[in-house]
Structure 1
Amino acid sequence: MSAAPVVADPPAASGRKPKKPFVRRIGVDRSQMLRRLVQFSFLALNLWIGFQFYLFVRQFEGSGMTGYTRPPGVEGWLPIAGMMNTRYFVLTGQVPVVHPAAMVLFVAFLAASIFFRKAFCGWLCPVGTLSEYLWKLGRDTFKRNFYLPRWLDIGLRSLKYILFGLFFYAVFSMPPVALREFLESPYGLVADVKMLNFFRNMGMAAAITVAILMLASVFVQNFWCRYLCPYGALMGLVSMLSPMKIQRKAESCIDCGKCAKVCPSRLPVDKLIQIQSAECLGCMECVAVCPVEDTLHMALVVPSKKPVPAWVMAAGVAVLFFGLVGAAKLTGHWHTPLSNETYQELIPHVNDYSHPGR
């Protein structure tokens, strides 16, 4: 049984443009419930990996703890190592021995963004999840979020692309031999431990910086992601290759503006036919709030404009992620083959190792 069209009132005497007739949306949109499930599942996975890695490191610091193994998934927090290993693989055809999981996860996240828009940022990234719920906390607490002036917003948004450009240049200017030497240096071998220690032994300056970023995220939507995250800049650039895009049917759109209002990237969804911006997170919040049947949707624009439901996004991201991780495990390209004796030698002196380029 189809819904009856809701007919707008005749134009008022003031001459205002009459509202379009429309068919009210049928059923309940569950895209955001599904996205939250994916977000918090991935956040829980990261917390579990982080705790397991903490226990693994502690057993080499004289804690008396034993029997813990290093979770390779911790290398997902080493995006620079992932980029370096990917470049090394492309140049040599050899999977790097050190931090291979970093490359596998880097490729998985890139693939998710290519096929499913900026899905890593909108569906998977733990920092993105934290950032999202910080600004939602601010909105619920203060009844609004704050927006920077357009000139300042555009200027700050360029920072993440500049940061990514610097990392890109540093990695892609290194020949294969230098990449391998860096990764197999004591610094490279325990880069994950140094990352853990940054959070465990955070100095005053770092703590203040993190606190400022978190506070800014309460008041400004996705402050870190929008202005400073170089990883998000990369994912946004490759997402422009995606065959999936938010598509709006102008002929049935009633110009209510709800889609633009809820967009966390502040994109003018209500004014565009197709969203191609690198800032689109693929979160589908605009789709969820649209009140008109078959007007706004994520669409597979090549070869046709076929709508893509949220469950396809979630399933596709999961298949890419677990498929590549499973393939890496089966082929022996997941674990970094360092013995406990090597870690016992390296971890107690981790603070003595400096960047090889210094």
Structure 2
Amino acid sequence: MAVFLVGGNAEAWCPFGGVEALYTYAREGNLVCSLGVSNFYILGGVLLSVLLLRRAFCGYVCPIGAISEWLQAAARRLRIRPRRVPYGLDRVLALLKYAVLGVILYFTWRAGELVFRGYDPCYALLSRHGEDITFWAYVVSGAILLISLFVKVPFCRWLCPLAAVFTPFSRVGLMRIKRNPDACTDCGACSRVCPMGIRVHTHANVTAARCTACLECVAVCPTRKRGALTWGLPRHLDRRGPLAVTSGPWPQAALIAIMLLCIGAAVAATYTFPLPSFVQTRGTAPATTATLYVNIEGVTCRGSANLLTYFLERDDDLEIPGYLKIEAWPGPGASAVHITYDPSQTTPEAIRNAIKQPYFDLVINQFRVSPFQITEP
């Protein structure tokens, strides 16, 4: 909704962006362009939801999963019978997502850029055909859509790199489907309807990491009113009796409420505790330091923030030897920048002049005109 109605930046709120940016931020103190610390917060909120609800994020929030489900519904109307993938083959294909995750992270961390963005079907959808989208993004998207007519949520089951990240957290998730063998008739309807290929009717507790808490198994159970299948806390925590809820509107409402609470907390934390997305230090800080707080126009991404450091580290007559650290929040318009310095060696006015005035770059043998304009916070 934010993407299509208000033109929001989807990448800044993508949990997988937090995974992609983690290495670069930890090593260099900056983020890949188009990402922000909001990616870390939303990743944390989503992982919290996974610890509580398993992979409910995949079943209730992911746009690729939603489109796959819509296509399955359309296929039923068109009388296209879904193909059942043998259980053993399904488990082998599920390993592909770990290979996809490894390849993406390796090349992203090595290049310092979102090298697979142009091939990402989710980005192709949410970016409203971004300028760096390639033809192959639509080939991948088309293949996923076509296969979704015949196989339930193929991307989510076998290829999604975020699902690979979720697996260790979802494996120890709190909420689960519980089966009462005394009420269960072993009809297998729950297993046949499961979009993730889980053999629900063979488990007393469904603790599979791939469970998306869609509750379709509960909804289709012919003896659910007798408690054959319920969703809720594990039995050893359910000390006050059967707290698990059934397939009516309350369980879905409870699940969605928990999901929204986790995501809402992540969004609130992003604005309450805004961490800088670009940090660079130089030298050893003395006992006494000072910080200049300014807003600077022209600091829009990691590249322009790096350019700003060139002006701060200049070696001409406007050199500022007391410059120690820069923290920046790159973005459109005037971006907040905090510059820490040694007050015994330089002054705020000297720092401002170093940022605004051109300098002669001996490496390229020409003057660099400053693209930055300073305003006070």
Q: TM-score, normalised by structure 1?
A: 0.63
Specify the alignment match of 1:52 in structure 2. Answer: 7
**Residue 233 (structure 1) aligned with residue 164 (structure 2):** yes
Q: Distance in 2 between matches of 1:311 and 1:222?
A: 23
Q: Letter of the aligned partner of 2:298 in structure 1?
A: E
Judging changes above 3 Å, is the alpha-carbon distance between structure 1 residues 104 and 338 closer, same or farther for their aligned structure 2 residues?
Answer: farther
5+ residue gaps, structure 1, are 1-43, 54-70, 348-358
Write the mapping of 1:183-194 to structure 2, written as runs, cut at 5 A: 187=113
Write the mapping of 1:255-334 to structure 2, written as runs, cut at 5 A: 255-292=186-223, 293=225, 294-301=227-234, 303-305=236-238, 306-308=243-245, 309-333=251-275
Choose between structure 1 and 2 for higher RCO, CA contacts under 8 A separated by at least 6 residues: 1
Write the mapping of 1:143-292 to structure 2, written as runs, cut at 5 A: 143-167=80-104, 182=112, 187=113, 196=127, 199-200=130-131, 202-292=133-223
Q: Following TM superposition, by how much is the alpha carbon of 1:205 offset from its aligned partner in structure 2, in angstroms?
A: 3.7
User: Larger strand proportion, structure 1 or 2?
Assistant: 2
Specify the alignment match of 2:70 in structure 1. Answer: 133
The Cα offsets for residues 26-55 of structure 1, whole Å up to 9 and x where unpaired, read as xxxxxxxxxxxxxxxxxx34433xx514xx
3-state SS in 1 of match to 2:4:
helix
Q: Following TM superposition, by how much is the alpha carbon of 1:169 offset from its aligned partner in structure 2, in angstroms?
A: 6.1
Of residues 38, 45, 48 in structure 2, which corresponds to 1:101? Answer: 38
3-state SS in 1 of match to 2:232:
strand
Specify the alignment match of 1:82 in structure 2. Answer: 18
Q: Following TM superposition, by how much is the alpha carbon of 1:204 offset from its aligned partner in structure 2, in angstroms?
A: 3.7
Aligned length: 269
- Tell me, yes or no, if the aligned pair for 2:15 and 2:42 is still in contact at 8 Å: no
**Residue 341 (structure 1) aligned with residue 306 (structure 2):** no
Q: Distance in 1 between matches of 2:297 and 2:83?
A: 50
Between 123-132 and 333-342, the greater mean CA deviation after superposition: 333-342
Q: CA RMSD in A?
A: 3.8
Between 279-288 and 201-210, the greater mean CA deviation after superposition: 201-210
Judging changes above 3 Å, is the alpha-carbon distance between structure 1 residues 216 and 339 closer, same or farther for their aligned structure 2 residues?
Answer: farther
Q: Following TM superposition, by how much is the alpha carbon of 1:168 offset from its aligned partner in structure 2, in angstroms?
A: 5.6
User: Larger helix proportion, structure 1 or 2?
Assistant: 1
Judging changes above 3 Å, is the alpha-carbon distance between structure 1 residues 224 and 274 closer, same or farther for their aligned structure 2 residues?
Answer: same
5+ residue gaps, structure 2, are 246-250, 279-293, 305-377
Q: Distance in 2 between matches of 1:338 and 1:215?
A: 49
Judging changes above 3 Å, is the alpha-carbon distance between structure 1 residues 88 and 211 closer, same or farther for their aligned structure 2 residues?
Answer: closer
Q: Following TM superposition, by how much is the alpha carbon of 1:310 offset from its aligned partner in structure 2, in angstroms?
A: 2.8
Query: Rg larger in 1 or in 2?
Result: 2
Q: Letter of the aligned partner of 2:190 in structure 1?
A: C
The Cα offsets for residues 141-170 of structure 1, whole Å up to 9 and x where unpaired, read as 134211234444333221012222445667
Q: Distance in 1 between matches of 2:15 and 2:206?
A: 31
- Tell me, yes or no, if the aligned pair for 1:101 and 1:335 is still in contact at 8 Å: no
Q: Letter of the aligned partner of 2:217 in structure 1?
A: C
Identical pairs, percent: 25
3-state SS in 1 of match to 2:230:
strand
Q: Following TM superposition, by how much is the alpha carbon of 1:344 offset from its aligned partner in structure 2, in angstroms?
A: 10
- Tell me, yes or no, if the aligned pair for 2:31 and 2:302 is still in contact at 8 Å: no
3-state SS in 1 of match to 2:7:
helix
Q: TM-score, normalised by structure 2?
A: 0.61
Q: Distance in 2 between matches of 1:239 and 1:169?
A: 24
